[in-house]
Structure 1
Amino acid sequence: MTTAPARARFTGRTALVTGAGGGIGRGVALAFADEGANVVVAGRRREPLEETVTLIERAGGKALAVSADVTRAAEVRALVSAAVERFGSLDVAVNNAGVMAGRGRLTADLPEEDWRTMLDTNVTGVLLAPQAEVAQMRTQPNGGAIVNIASRIGVHSRLRGTAGYAVTKAAVSVLSRSAALDHIADGVRINAVSPGPTATDMSFGPGETETGRAERMRTEVPLGRVSTVEEVAAAVLYLASDEAAPVVGTDLVVDGGSTA
């Protein structure tokens, strides 16, 4: 027997989360399930996705794991079809899959392979996924909501040694706002969230411990700490919820004030 969630904004709805095998993606998937959604978790590797599903089901939720590469249009279309076949609709999509390659390499020294890897996943993936998602959502009476995960590195700030990542995440922000204008008339709301330093592996410096990161954050971030995964997830759920009905084409920065 399970207890009803304190809030149930997504009961009866289906939420799809890419890059849900860990980090922010897993946190977002758990948060949607906690508020009543049927959750489809996607990523390239099956094992971490199954771990996410297990966590959701242990808490009394419903989830489906689907292996998919967001850089391949056919796989993304199959992912959306699997979500609809299992749960009957696609009401929310969170496009979180992303990579940071060549970290620490200056622009002139960034390998072309790393550049192309980031373009393929961070930009092309955030074109192909919403294309498949909108195609389904525009057929539904209540449309849907899409939240793309960008970054405070990009439009909002730059860090030395992250040029390729910054370019691709800036593209996510602009693509999200452009798509929002294109598809609000279809009943599909599109927004973005730009996290700053968050309690995931990506926020560690080379060889850095949690203690070392905490000490660095005290001076680097006005809030004095990293954001938790749950705090970023809360921003995503807000933008996906009916409470944000008039919010279209925004890029919500969650970074503890580091770009204020």
Structure 2
Amino acid sequence: MTELQGKTAIITGAGQGVGQGIALALAAAGAAVVVAGRTLGKVESTAKLIESRGGKALAVACNVKDAADLAALVAAAQNAFGGVDILVNNAQEVPQGKLLDVTDEAFLAGFESGPLATFRLMKLVQPIMAARGGGTIINLASSAGIRWDMTGYGAYAAVKQAIRSLTRAGAAEWGRENIRVLTIAPHAESPGLKWWVENNPEEAAAFFRTIPLGRIGKLEEDIGRAVAALCGSDLSYLTGATIPLDGGQANFD
């Protein structure tokens, strides 16, 4: 695969899970990838895995709640690879629990790591992408935002739904500069999902029965390669949409 040859991608939260799967798939498609995460050792492992496959990667320690770290991340991508063509806003601290149980601190952490970090990075890469003739921004949301029963998911859904609004605004405001902005809502074999299944076995069993394809997505093959396709020329007329990579479970209509 060489569809993304010559492109540079930034992926936050790339030390494990969905972020790592996306980074692997983008690198396999030819992109040079900057993998960012709070724990340098984790993203270094991702970078080494990419390099062992013949890809190009740079590991950067980054706390997405820190504006200075975000600016340094974008600068590192420019210095290493000359620019930014793809941004994947994956990192997110999740405020879990019923409304009366979620603290202000947990909600603020979810907001700062989610919509605020997404907002900041979108603005940082916009002029770079515009100068390069365009680019693709992929933001991550969740089907939690449209659950049939929001009990226990309200705070999490609130920050994720805010990200979908930023996607729509970015697509509308930057489309004439050939910058496409999309949201994906994946179900994948991530550490977060595994934790949820272990701690909510009955709810998880009921949830899995609602997935038409009958399985959870694979990190690189199902989620990562879909993102690589979304960043390619074949889907260059698609922007502003939420793509549910979830085996048909959610209904975003």
TM-score, scaled to structure 1? 0.89
Gaps of 5+ in 1: 1-6
Q: Where in structure 2 are the equivalents of 1:24-173 lying within 5 Å?
A: 24-101=18-95, 103=96, 105-140=97-132, 142-155=133-146, 159-173=150-164
1:201 match: 191
Give the 4+ runs in structure 1 shifted more than 3 A: 155-159, 211-218
CA distance in 1, matches of 2:79, 2:126: 16
Farther-moved stretch of structure 1 (57-66 vs 225-234) = 225-234
**Percent identical across equivalent pairs?**
33
1:39-68: CA deviations, max 9, x gaps?
111111101000000100111111001112
How far did 1:73 drift? Answer: 2.3
CA contact (8 A) 1:39 1:64 kept: yes
RMSD over aligned Cα atoms = 2.1
> In the superposition, relative to structure 1, how do residues 220 and 203 fare at CA in structure 2: closer, same or farther (>3 Å)?
farther
Which residues of 2 match residues 239-250 of structure 1 at below 5 A? 239-250=230-241
Q: Which residue identity lines up with residue 225 of structure 1 in the other structure?
A: R
Indicate whether 1:186 and 2:180 are aligned. no
Q: Secondary structure at the match of 2:19?
A: helix
Is 2:187 the counterpart of 1:225? no
| Aligned-partner SS, 1:148 | strand
Change (3 A) 1:77 1:256: same
Structure 2 counterpart of 1:116, one-letter code: L
Distance 2:196 2:235 in 1: 38
Pair 174,216 (structure 1): closer, same or farther in 2 beyond 3 Å: same
Give yes or no for contact 2:16–2:42 (8 Å, CA) kept in 1: yes
Q: Which of 1 and 2 has higher RCO (CA within 8 Å, sep 6+)?
A: 2
